[in-house]
């Protein structure tokens, strides 16, 4: 069945890849984005196949017709971006989600929330299962995002309990791939851009802190499986790659794939930066039969190739 689907944050890194998959399978897609961190360039190749609305979801939603599904990916996702206006970031996660939930309730359509592993904070439990309640600083510089996403989950589950709204909550772990913003401050894009420019790679702290890196295509597949499963799965469901690497290991791999063996530059660890991040994905495997398939070396090479061909990289 051809579905009519609303994607908020659709001009962003993840949203544009999701739209690619939806368009490819023949869905009717409406993309909402305020272009705070998204870019029309990310969806330029499908603009004639989708409807685009420039709008901020913290404001009342315009009349857009009926939808079968809503994918909410609208929120700055890197500290560089979400700390620029922390109040707006928090509003996006709470007021924005509230507006979308009201739409989902009114139209009786499903809604998938792009939540985050940041709800676990700087964890005392490693790796992190969905049952872990987390260790989040509620008043720190990152809390506008961390607590905003936690508040969004609260609203989603309350709407499910009170009004029967069909919700899907995906907790995303570090994701990378083509169309990442070269200036978003995330470690993969940072390392790749610095290495391509033959500048020292900025490593925060000792570099022994760890992350697990999921290639964007794997994550989007997880989104679609979670939304489409006929099983009653509200979530939260961890979506991420369970293979764990230190920042030093990642730096070494990035230099290998760019062919530029640049040195490292160590700086102080930012406030509340998690020391470890690794998902337990048993729920995704059991409920969705999902497991990431792209290994880090393969994904990094694809991402390096993207940045090599990116005009903004060449021009700087």
- Domains, the chain, in order of start with CATH, read 4-175+214-239 (3.40.50.720), 178-211+242-278+294-315 (3.90.25.10)
Residues with catalytic roles: 145
Per-residue model confidence (pLDDT) at position 231? 82
What pLDDT score does 101 carry? 98
Task: Please give the model's pTM, rounded to 2 decimal places.
Answer: 0.94
- Residues 47/27, Cβ–Cβ less than 8 Å: no
How confident is the prediction along the chain (316 residues), in pLDDT tens digits per residue? Answer: 899 999 999 999 999 999 999 999 999 999 999 999 999 999 999 999 999 999 999 999 999 999 999 999 999 887 888 888 999 999 999 999 999 999 999 999 999 999 999 999 999 999 999 999 999 999 999 999 999 999 999 999 999 999 999 999 999 999 999 999 988 889 999 999 999 999 999 999 999 999 999 999 999 999 999 999 988 788 899 999 999 999 999 999 999 999 999 999 999 988 777 888 999 999 999 999 999 999 999 999 999 999 999 856 444 4
Single out the residue of 258, 282, 263 nearest to residue 203, CA to CA. Answer: 263
Whole-Å CA distances, 120 to 90, 92, 168, 208: 17, 20, 18, 19
Residue of 21, 38, 39 whose CA lies nearest to 78: 38
Q: Are strands 244-246 and 210-212 parallel, antiparallel or unpaired?
A: antiparallel
């Amino acid at each position: 069945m051809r579905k009519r689907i609303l994607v908020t944050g659709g001009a962003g890194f993840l949203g544009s890849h999701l739209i690619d998959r939806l368009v490819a399978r023949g869905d009717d897609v409406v993309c909402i984005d305020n272009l705070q961190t998204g870019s029309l360039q990310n969806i330029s190749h499908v603009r004639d196949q989708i409807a685009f609305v420039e709008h901020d979801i913290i404001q009342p939603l315009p009349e857009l017709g009926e939808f079968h599904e809503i994918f909410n990916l609208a929120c700055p996702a890197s500290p560089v971006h979400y700390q620029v206006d922390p109040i707006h970031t928090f509003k996006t996660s709470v007021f924005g989600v509230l507006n979308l939930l009201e739409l989902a309730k009114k139209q009786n359509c499903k809604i998938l929330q792009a939540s985050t592993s940041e709800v676990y904070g700087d964890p005392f439990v490693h790796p992190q299962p969905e049952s872990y309640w987390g260790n989040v600083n509620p008043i720190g510089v990152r809390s506008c995002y961390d607590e905003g996403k936690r508040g969004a989950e609260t609203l989603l589950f309350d709407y499910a309990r009170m009004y029967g709204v069909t919700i899907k909550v995906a907790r995303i772990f570090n994701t990378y791939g083509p169309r990442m913003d070269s200036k978003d401050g995330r470690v993969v894009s940072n390392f790749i851009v610095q290495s391509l420019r033959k500048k020292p790679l900025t490593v925060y702290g000792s570099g022994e802190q760890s992350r697990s890196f999921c290639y964007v295509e794997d994550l989007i597949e997880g989104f679609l499986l979670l939304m489409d499963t006929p099983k009653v799965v509200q979530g939260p469901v961890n979506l991420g790659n369970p293979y764990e690497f230190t920042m030093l290991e990642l730096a070494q791999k990035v230099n290998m794939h760019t062919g530029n063996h640049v040195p490292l530059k160590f700086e102080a660890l930012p406030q509340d930066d998690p020391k470890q991040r690794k998902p337990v994905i048993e729920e995704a495997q059991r409920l969705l039969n999902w497991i990431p398939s792209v290994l880090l070396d393969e994904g990094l090479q694809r991402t390096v190739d993207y940045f090599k061909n990116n005009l903004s990289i060449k021009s700087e």
